[in-house]
Structure 1
Amino acid sequence: MSESQDVIALGQPTVGEEELAAVAEVFKSGWLAGAGPTCRKFEERFASVVGTKHALTTSNCGSALYLGLRVLGVEPGDEVIVGDYTFPATGHAVLQAGATPVFADVRPDIWSADPAHVESLITEKTVGILAVDVAGQPGDFDEYRAIADSRGLWLFEDAACSAGATYKTRPAGSLADLAAFSFHGRKGITAGEGGALVSDREDLIAHARKLHTYGIEPAIAREGSDELPIPTFHEAGFNFRLSDVQAAIMNVQLDRLPDLLAARRSVAKRYHDAFDGLDGVEVPVALPDREHPWQAYILTIAPEISRGKVALKLRERGVQCNFGTYASHVQPVYGKQAPLPVSADIFARHLAIPMHSNLTDAQVERVADTVREVVTELS
């Protein structure tokens, strides 16, 4: 890499003075801890954006997934069908709830769980379907819902990457009984870390709210009482709260969401145009009946080209990149699993290139030119 060339980041948050000002207001309020008034404000706004009646902020998406499984009643001996191509936090949450994840192979185009394979995996032990929006694009939720309803199962959306996405005009997050979001640093809106659990069902969110604060209502619920309320613990919970400092950042990020999405979609279009006709790579598919938030832009490298060599050469030239995500079923933590050929294949060939809302036109052009050069050299 030339010393005059800056490294182009794979992912990068868009934050600035507005977020700093919001954090300063929280400092002035004196309530920095979790589940306070700033969290409640964000929860109300976020629920409105994702089209649900209720939202609960959490420490991260993993805790939201686990809380969701707990309030759905998952217990040891249960099986949960999980879309295979996902960061293993999805499967981990099922294990942590005491159940067994049963991984479903995925569609070769959008990488979410294949409904036909999901249905084929249902047994008498199956209690629900945990469907993943890969890179933020929702899977086939009408089909998942039909399967779940016909078999008496619940449906849970792993919407970790999906803020701002839609499926047949419906917002991601509103497509299932519950949905979990991530506010990790590479997501479309971010506080560095954090998450949310959303639902139309008040009972599920109320139960999760107690569990995420050790098993009692958060302190804000006791504000303004003319007595000295003493909470009672009926079950063991956790500290899975988002701090009000992070919630302040998220309120500003929610304001930014339309512009952040527009920027990412512009980058995706330019990449699509740049790689049109390039032998050796396939661009990601965005289906016309859903809006893709482009949390990541993932190329599929032809099997005759070494993905590892492509990655090393891109990095040498100042373009960050990484594999896409995981074929969960091959991870040792899950024990012996049935082979899932589609997921295994894309796991071996996917390569994520820079995607974030701060990319300049010049950077997008440089990334595209560098990818084209490297792929042509190695073809």
Structure 2
Amino acid sequence: MGVKTVDAIPLVRPSLGEQELAAVARVFSSGWPAGQGPSGKALEADLATRYGVTDAVAVSNCGAALHLALLALGVTAGDEVIVADYTFPAPAHAVRYVGATPVFADVRPDTGTVDPRAVADLIGPRTVGVIAVDTLGMPADYDELNALTDRYGLFLVEDAACAIGATYRGRPAGALAPVACLSFHGRKGITSGEGGALLTTDPALAADARLRSSFGIGSIFDQAQIVGLPIPEFTEIGYNYKLSDIAAAILQVQLTRVEELLDRRRLVAAHYGQLLADEELVTLPVVPDDRTHAWQSYLLTLHPDVDRAAIATELRAHGIGCGHGTWASHQQPVYDSSQHCPVSADLARRNIAIPMHAELTPGQVERVAETLRTALHSHTRAGAA
């Protein structure tokens, strides 16, 4: 007999099932699987209602939503946009897409979200706006950020890619700034594999983004409903950022499951908190009283004397997925930045992500915590704790 292998516990796993399959089958039957069709329009209406915004534009991913937002806001070469540093660098990429310069703002050491004081210190004559990030599911300090951008006449974009279901002072992440961008990537709270959306209170901005998302000519589905032979004209350069109706149908189902799936993630987070509360070699996630976390990821901050690479190696050897957390964006070679964001850099060195998704069982959570605790005490310099 062969050696029994330990069941793997993945870092992430989507929660997709029969309801989503049935929704896809209905799209197949409709004959319109492409973008901006009936399912896409229905999803946009659902999103606008859920978030209380004027309009929602469904797109292929959150990076596309960020790009479209900056185009619609008129950002161009010579402008500077302040971006949260401790994040997947999609916001800074979007700034570069339009030829502008990203300026990296350091973050709070407890939440990892952008520090409004750091933003204020970076505002200069070329600054046109700010992109805040709800870091790994934690909303940023939007009352302070909205007040700051209003005072200086700057735009504010909320990158809520990781934060579906989270709240800030009773308001949902995704509705905390005049423009917000969502992600439906496979590791998010709800998913269609890939996907995104732009949410806004400005109808003109939404119309601009929707047009640019379809090569600049609008919905082919809509044009096919017109009697005659309409031939659209290309009056500007657009992009193919449409979300397929297949993905939109999946997301319509997933939207009805946000609370269910988030409740399951909350239980996982609470269980980790109980199991690791007395472990001096890690700092648990901090959630301020005025907001709630979407728990896209569960990040621990390791004691400086812990060997993170060795911890990751040991976890994976036991079939447990893990990750480094996220990036200190200013350190990425592509930006060639001379800035320094010390808090972000420290978090990037010491954070580790352990399994977090709605499919985790209590037994799996306990196995992760036990394996992690053993690894911590095996890979820490003497005298650290």
TM-score (normalizing by structure 2): 0.96
Residue by residue over 1:45-94, the C-alpha shift from the partner in whole angstroms, topping out at 9 and shown as x without a partner, is: 12222232211111111111100000000000000000000111121010
1:39–1:247 Cα contact (<8 Å) kept: yes
- Provide the C-alpha distance between the structure 1 equivalents of 2:43 and 2:309, rounded to a whole number of angstroms: 41
1:121 match: 122
The reply on whether 1:8 has 2:9 as its aligned counterpart is yes
Number of residue equivalences: 378
The reply on whether 1:173 has 2:174 as its aligned counterpart is yes
The reply on whether 1:367 has 2:368 as its aligned counterpart is yes
The reply on whether 1:311 has 2:301 as its aligned counterpart is no
- Provide the C-alpha distance between the structure 2 equivalents of 1:358 and 1:48, rounded to a whole number of angstroms: 28
The Cα of 1:333 is off from its aligned counterpart by 0.6
- Provide the C-alpha distance between the structure 1 equivalents of 2:98 and 2:297, rounded to a whole number of angstroms: 29
- Provide the C-alpha distance between the structure 2 equivalents of 1:265 and 1:121, rounded to a whole number of angstroms: 35
1:258 match: 259
The Cα of 1:233 is off from its aligned counterpart by 2.1
SS in 2 for 1:82: strand
2:226 match: 225
1:52–1:173 Cα contact (<8 Å) kept: no
The residue type paired with residue 109 of structure 1 is D
The reply on whether 1:83 has 2:84 as its aligned counterpart is yes
The reply on whether 1:130 has 2:131 as its aligned counterpart is yes
1:51–1:173 Cα contact (<8 Å) kept: no
- Provide the C-alpha distance between the structure 1 equivalents of 2:187 and 2:337, rounded to a whole number of angstroms: 31
1:199 match: 200
Counterparts of residues 9-28 of structure 1 (less than 5 Å):
9-28=10-29
The residue type paired with residue 235 of structure 2 is H
The Cα of 1:288 is off from its aligned counterpart by 1.4
- Provide the C-alpha distance between the structure 1 equivalents of 2:160 and 2:34, rounded to a whole number of angstroms: 26
Q: More displaced, 363-372 or 151-160?
A: 363-372
Structure 2 residue runs without a partner (length 5+): 381-385
The Cα of 1:367 is off from its aligned counterpart by 0.8
SS in 1 for 2:70: helix
The residue type paired with residue 339 of structure 1 is H
1:41 match: 42
The Cα of 1:223 is off from its aligned counterpart by 4.7
- Provide the C-alpha distance between the structure 1 equivalents of 2:317 and 2:225, rounded to a whole number of angstroms: 59
SS in 2 for 1:134: coil
The Cα of 1:109 is off from its aligned counterpart by 0.6
Identity %: 51
1:276 match: 277
The residue type paired with residue 140 of structure 1 is D
The Cα of 1:370 is off from its aligned counterpart by 1.1
Structure 1 residue ranges, 4+ long, deviating more than 6 angstroms after superposition? none
1:288 match: 289
The Cα of 1:213 is off from its aligned counterpart by 0.4
- Provide the C-alpha distance between the structure 1 equivalents of 2:206 and 2:222, rounded to a whole number of angstroms: 15
The residue type paired with residue 114 of structure 1 is D
- Provide the C-alpha distance between the structure 2 equivalents of 1:98 and 1:126, rounded to a whole number of angstroms: 14
The Cα of 1:188 is off from its aligned counterpart by 0.6
Q: More displaced, 42-51 or 69-78?
A: 42-51
- Provide the C-alpha distance between the structure 1 equivalents of 2:112 and 2:133, rounded to a whole number of angstroms: 9
- Provide the C-alpha distance between the structure 2 equivalents of 1:356 and 1:300, rounded to a whole number of angstroms: 19
SS in 1 for 2:182: strand
The residue type paired with residue 221 of structure 1 is D
- Provide the C-alpha distance between the structure 1 equivalents of 2:4 and 2:11, rounded to a whole number of angstroms: 19
- Provide the C-alpha distance between the structure 2 equivalents of 1:234 and 1:224, rounded to a whole number of angstroms: 22
SS in 2 for 1:299: strand
SS in 2 for 1:5: coil
1:51–1:171 Cα contact (<8 Å) kept: no
TM-score (normalizing by structure 1): 0.98
Residue by residue over 1:257-284, the C-alpha shift from the partner in whole angstroms, topping out at 9 and shown as x without a partner, is: 1110000001000001111010110011
The reply on whether 1:216 has 2:217 as its aligned counterpart is yes
SS in 1 for 2:360: coil
1:320–1:353 Cα contact (<8 Å) kept: yes
- Provide the C-alpha distance between the structure 2 equivalents of 1:42 and 1:224, rounded to a whole number of angstroms: 20
Q: More displaced, 232-241 or 341-350?
A: 232-241
2:106 match: 105
The residue type paired with residue 307 of structure 1 is R
The residue type paired with residue 167 of structure 1 is Y
The residue type paired with residue 137 of structure 2 is G
SS in 1 for 2:301: strand
- Provide the C-alpha distance between the structure 2 equivalents of 1:312 and 1:225, rounded to a whole number of angstroms: 60
Residue by residue over 1:122-174, the C-alpha shift from the partner in whole angstroms, topping out at 9 and shown as x without a partner, is: 11100000001001111000010011000000000011111111110111111
Counterparts of residues 153-192 of structure 1 (less than 5 Å):
153-192=154-193
Residue by residue over 1:221-259, the C-alpha shift from the partner in whole angstroms, topping out at 9 and shown as x without a partner, is: 335323433222221101000000111111111111111
2:383 match: none
